Structure 1
Amino acid sequence: MQLLRDGAADFIIAQGGAFDLQGLGVVAPLYPDVMHVVVRNDRGITQLADLADRKVILGAAGSGMRQSALSLLDHYGLNGRVQETDASYFSSLPGDDSIDVRIITSGILNRDLRRILRSGQYQLLGIPDAAAIEMADPYFSIFVIPRGLYREQPPVPAEPVPTLRTTAFLVGHREAPEGLVAEMLASVYEEGMRLQMPTLHTRLQAREWLDMPMHTAARRYFDPQDEIGHMAAIMESLAATKELLFALAAGIYLLWERWRRLREREEQAVVREQKDHLDELLSRTVEIEARQIGLTDEFVLRRLLDDVTRIKLQALEELTHEELRGDRSFLIFLTQCSSLISKIQAKIGTREARK
Structure 2
Amino acid sequence: MKHRKRLLTAAVLGTAALAAAQGTTFLTIGSGATTGVYFPVATGMAKLITDANTGVRANARSTGGSVFNMTALGTGELDAAVTQNDVAYYAYRGTGLQAFQGKANSKIRSMAVLYPEVLHVVARKDARINSIADLKGKRVVIGDLGSGTEQTARQVLEAYGLTFDDLGQALRVSPAQGITLMQDKRADALFYTVGVGASAISQIAQTVDIKMVPVAGNQAAALIKKYPFYVRYNVPARSYKGVGATVPSVAVQATLVTTSDVSTDAVYRAMRAAFGNEEALKALHPTLAQNFSYAKAVKGLPAPLHPGAVRFFREKGVNVR
Contact 1:53 1:83 in 2 (8 A): yes
The secondary structure found in structure 2 opposite 1:32 is strand
Counterpart-to-counterpart distance in 2, 1:35 and 1:210: 19
Question: Which whole-Å deviations, capped at 9, do the CAs of 1:262-295 have from their partners, x for residues lacking one?
Answer: xxxxxxxxxxxxxxxxxxxxxxxxxxxxxxxxxx
Once superposed, which parts of structure 1, at least 4 consecutive aligned residues long, lie more than 3 Å away? Answer: 83-87, 209-212, 223-226
Could you tell me which residue of structure 2 aligns to residue 11 of structure 1? 80
Q: What is aligned with 2:8?
A: none
Q: Deviation at 1:48? A: 1.3
The offset of 1:210, in angstroms, is 6.0
Counterpart CA distance in 2 for 1:184 and 1:225 is 15
Match of 2:167 among 82, 85, 96: 82
Gaps of 5+ in 1: 227-259, 262-355
Does the residue aligned with 1:203 lie in a helix, a strand or coil? coil
**Bigger-Rg structure (1/2):** 1
- 1:185 is displaced (CA, Å) by 1.4
Per mean C-alpha deviation after superposition, the further-off stretch among 210-219 and 20-29 is 210-219
How far off its partner does 1:136 sit? 2.5
Deviations 1:44-102 (A, max 9, x none): 11111111111111111221111111110111111120134444213305153120110
Equivalent residues, number: 225
Greater RCO (Cα-Cα under 8 Å, separation 6 or more): 2
Cα distance in 1 for partners of 2:307, 2:260 equals 8
The answer to whether the aligner puts 1:100 opposite 2:191 as a matched pair is: no
State, as a whole percentage, how many aligned pairs show the same letter. Answer: 25
For 1:83 and 1:107, locate their aligned partners in 2 and report how far apart those are by CA, in whole Å.
Answer: 27
SS of the equivalent of 1:135 reads helix
Give the alignment partner of residue 268 of structure 2, picking from 178, 182, 204. Answer: 182
Is the alpha carbon distance of 1:83 and 1:215 closer, same or farther for their aligned partners in structure 2, counting shifts above 3 Å?
A: farther
Taking structure 2 as the reference length, what is the TM-score of the superposition? 0.64
> Secondary structure of 1:17's match?
helix
Q: How far apart in 1 are the matches of 2:168 and 2:272? A: 44
Asked if 1 retains the 8 angstrom alpha-carbon contact of 2:140 and 2:171, the reply is no
Give a deviation string over 1:93-151, Cα, whole Å, max 9, x none: 51531201101110113211211123242110111232332232111000111111123
SS at match of 2:123: strand
Partner of 2:305 in structure 1?
A: 214
Structure with higher helix content: 1
**Partner of residue 134 from structure 1, selected from 213, 224, 227:** 224
Which residue of the partner structure matches residue 265 of structure 1? none
Structure with bigger strand share is: 2
Letter in 2 for 1:91: A
Q: 1:119 aligns with which of 199, 207, 211?
A: 207
Partner of 2:108: 24
CA distance in 2, matches of 1:211, 1:77: 27
Question: Mean alpha-carbon deviation: is it higher for 77-86 or for 119-128?
Answer: 77-86
TM, length-normalised to structure 1: 0.59
- C-alpha separation between the residues in 1 aligned to 2:115 and 2:76? 25
Q: CA separation in 1, counterparts of 2:294 and 2:268?
A: 13
Identify the match of residue 109 of structure 1 among 191, 197, 203.
197
Q: How far apart, CA to CA, are the structure 1 residues paired with 2:275 and 2:131?
A: 40
Q: Deviations over 1:7-47 (max 9, x none)?
A: 12111111121131222111111111000110011011111
Residue 58 of structure 1: which of 130, 142, 146 is its match?
Answer: 142
The yes-or-no answer on 1:170 pairing with 2:256 is yes
